[in-house]
Homo-oligomer: A and B are copies of this chain.
Amino acid sequence: MIQITTGDSRPVFQQIVDGFRMQVATGELLPGTKLPSTRGLAMQLTVNPNTVAKAYSALTAEGLIESRQGVGVFVCEPRQQLSYEERRRRLDTAIQQLVTTVITLGFEPDEILDALEKELAPLLRKSS
């Protein structure tokens, strides 16, 4: 379900967060779906339970999942909590970060845009 790559530069909890975010965004995980328990997922991924807990906590704060006491953790109904301004601000920040990391690599703007377009292609369904 979730792939943990030891060679990845991202911390483990972030890889879990990113994994679920992508699955929700692509529709692999539908609202209402029950996620594995903290301990269960930790065992399955052979990581520390605290790490999974941290990932779930981050996803909850983000509003992507919610935990129902004694029942489990579930994918939320999609609802855009953030204001347009906030979302726009985050997009711009992320793009500026991309540009600063890529600017010295010597690519043409078109190459960069093409690469992004290819990466975005499989996500067409998530335009809520």
Q: Residues of A at under 8 Å CB distance from B?
A: 6-7, 9, 11, 18, 21-22, 24-25, 58, 61-62, 64, 66, 68-70, 76-77, 79-84, 86-87, 90-92, 94-109, 111-113, 115-117, 119-121, 123-124, 126-128
A76, closest chain B residue (CB): B7
Inside 8 A of A11's CB, which chain B residues have their CB? 68-70
Inside 8 A of A81's CB, which chain B residues have their CB? 82-83, 86
**With A82-B83, A83-B84, A107-B87: A102-B113 Cβ-Cβ less than 8 Å:** no
Docked complex Cα distance between A128 and B80 (Å): 22
Inside 8 A of A69's CB, which chain B residues have their CB? 11
CB distance from A2 to the nearest CB of B (A): 13
CB distance from A64 to the nearest CB of B (A): 7
Inside 8 A of A92's CB, which chain B residues have their CB? 115, 119
